[in-house]
Amino acid sequence: MKSFFPYDSVELSANGREVVILDQTQLPNQERFLHLITAEQIFYAITRLKVRGAPAIGIAAAFGLAMCVNRYRTRSLQALEKEFLRVKHYLYISRPTAVNLMWALDRMERCFYATKLGLENADEKHAIEVIRNSLTAEARAIKAEDVRMCEVISEYGFSLLHPGCGILTHCNAGHLAVSRFGTALGPIYQAQQQGYSPRVFCDETRPLLQGARLTAYELTKAGIMAATLMAQRKIDFVYVGCDRVAANGDVANKIGTCGVAILAKYYKVPLYVFAPTSTVDLDCASGDEIVIEERPAFEVTDMYYSKPMAPKGIKVYNPAFDITPASLIAGIVTEKGIIKPREIKNIKKNR
């Protein structure tokens, strides 16, 4: 599958000592890349949505953890382990809803201790170097696997479409939100490459106007028509991404997704959720257990406006996500196929 972008939204430098991200808060007006070299910069980039999208956040956190270990100067394996755990726990709390973040960091921890276990008789200098190399390789593997998963997810999603179809998407689940290609937008790019000429409608979305700024930006780059309103009888499918899938098939996605799902159900338009299996949280029984992140008020009242667009001091309720019940979802599209929400609990995950 061909990418319409000459770059990825998150990358690890060749020497493993910098995490390079496209600053998504500057889009669509400026394509600005940030070179991050500290745990604090990674944390800030994640919390302020400079890098965003559940898979991309997980990749950024894994890259950040590897980068911090590579930059940490020590001759003590014990000191390296202490620093590794400090950074891991620090990044763990940067955003609460997207399970990919915790999944990737836990996978990096398993790599650290599996590598350490095999170095019990090695001298510390050698052991430190081997651990650094292992963590860097593991972080790159997390991204490479996500690229492959997105390609497969795109194929499954594309199989549902037909030439000239109308698709509504909510928030941004494209190239910017993952390693490459996208989840919900991946099938749309595939359709465009196959000459289907899909008509795409992208909802406006909090936080940070991600529909107009990011999805419309991506679709325009790909040469696909984008609009901001859903027109009656012009939508054949609703394609959305998500940040966590519970064991019963409930999903957490950008605020407003549940409302779209209710409308889609009423008008008999199938809604599909696109997610790699790293986004499935089998330890979470239902959407009731998912912690919903609340964003600061200024993102609604001031950010991207030349003047405040609400009265000074007004109270703002700004949840970043809502929960869409499994009953409103036609299917969850993963790299393992199109799965009925009630069957998601049976999915086999590599842990």
* DSSP classification of residue 346: G
Residue 292: half-sphere exposure toward Cβ, Cα within 13 Å:
17
- The arithmetic mean of pLDDT across residues 300-320, rounded, is 79
Q: Which long-range contacts (CB under 8 A, 24 or more apart) does 297-304 make?
A: 299/206, 299/207, 299/208, 300/206, 300/207, 303/208, 304/208, 304/209, 304/213
3 domain residue, yes or no: no
Q: Which two tokens stand for residue 46?
A: 């994640």
Instruction: Considering the candidates 8, 146, 203, 243, report the single residue annotated as catalytic.
Output: 243
Single out the residue in 131, 152, 173 at which a domain terminates: 152
Contact between 40 and 80 under an 8 Å Cβ cutoff? The reply is no
**Residue 189 sits in the same domain as residue 316:** yes
254 DSSP β-pair partners: 321
For 19, 213, 284, 289, 335, the CA distances from 175, given in Å and listed in that order, are: 18, 13, 27, 29, 16
Residue 332: half-sphere exposure toward Cβ, Cα within 13 Å:
33
Per the structure, the count of domains in the chain is 2
Q: Residue 227: its pLDDT value, please? A: 37
User: CA 89 to CA 154: how far, in whole Å?
Assistant: 33
**Residue 112 sits in the same domain as residue 172:** no
The least confident of 188-197, 198-207, 324-333 is 198-207
Tens digits of residue pLDDT in 131-142: 999 999 999 999
Output the 3-class SS for 237-294: EEEECCCEEECCCCEEEECCHHHHHHHHHHCCCCEEEECCHHHEECCCCCHHHCCCCE
pLDDT at 350 over 70: no
131 domain residue, yes or no: yes
**Residue 256 sits in the same domain as residue 197:** yes
Per the omega criterion (within 30 degrees of 0), is the bond before 296 cis? no
Q: Is 202 helix (H, G, I), strand (E, B) or coil?
A: strand
1 domain residue, yes or no: no
Alpha helices in the chain (DSSP H): 39-47, 54-71, 77-92, 99-117, 124-158, 186-193, 210, 216-221, 257-266, 298-301
**Residue 217 sits in the same domain as residue 202:** yes
* H or E, element range at 324: strand 321-324
Tell me the CATH number at 165: 3.40.50.10470
65 domain residue, yes or no: yes
Single out the residue in 111, 128, 152 at which a domain terminates: 152
Single out the residue in 117, 137, 152 at which a domain terminates: 152
Tens digits of residue pLDDT in 177-201: 998 889 999 999 999 999 999 988 8
Contact between 5 and 221 under an 8 Å Cβ cutoff? The reply is yes
Measured at the alpha carbon of residue 138, what is the angle toward residues 333 and 346, in degrees to the nearest 5?
30
The least confident of 183-197, 229-243, 253-267 is 229-243
Q: Residue 228: its pLDDT value, please? A: 38
**Residue 142 sits in the same domain as residue 179:** no
Tell me the CATH number at 99: 1.20.120.420
**Residue 140 sits in the same domain as residue 206:** no
**Residue 194 sits in the same domain as residue 342:** yes
Quote the mean pLDDT of the chain. Answer: 90
Tell me the backbone φ, ψ of residue 35, rounded to 5 degrees: -110, 110
**Residue 274 sits in the same domain as residue 212:** yes
Annotated catalytic residue 243? yes
2 domain residue, yes or no: no
DSSP β-ladder status, 237-240 and 226-227: unpaired
pLDDT at 230 over 70: no
- Of 188 and 6, more confident: 188
Contacts of 210 (CB under 8 A, 6+ apart): 52, 171, 172, 254
Q: Does pTM top 0.95 for this prediction? A: no
Q: Residue 6: its pLDDT value, please? A: 86
- Of 8 and 228, more confident: 8
Contact between 12 and 136 under an 8 Å Cβ cutoff? The reply is yes
Tens digits of residue pLDDT in 154-178: 999 999 999 999 999 988 889 999 9
Tens digits of residue pLDDT in 271-308: 999 999 999 999 999 999 999 988 888 787 777 677 77
Question: What distance lies between CA 331 and its chain's CA centroid?
Answer: 19
**Residue 54 sits in the same domain as residue 106:** yes
Q: Residue 222: its pLDDT value, please? A: 66
Range of the domain at 86: 10-152
**Residue 214 sits in the same domain as residue 321:** yes
Tens digits of residue pLDDT in 46-75: 999 999 999 999 999 999 999 999 999 999
**Residue 141 sits in the same domain as residue 163:** no
**Residue 172 sits in the same domain as residue 307:** yes
Q: To the nearest whole percent, how much of the chain has pLDDT over 90?
A: 68
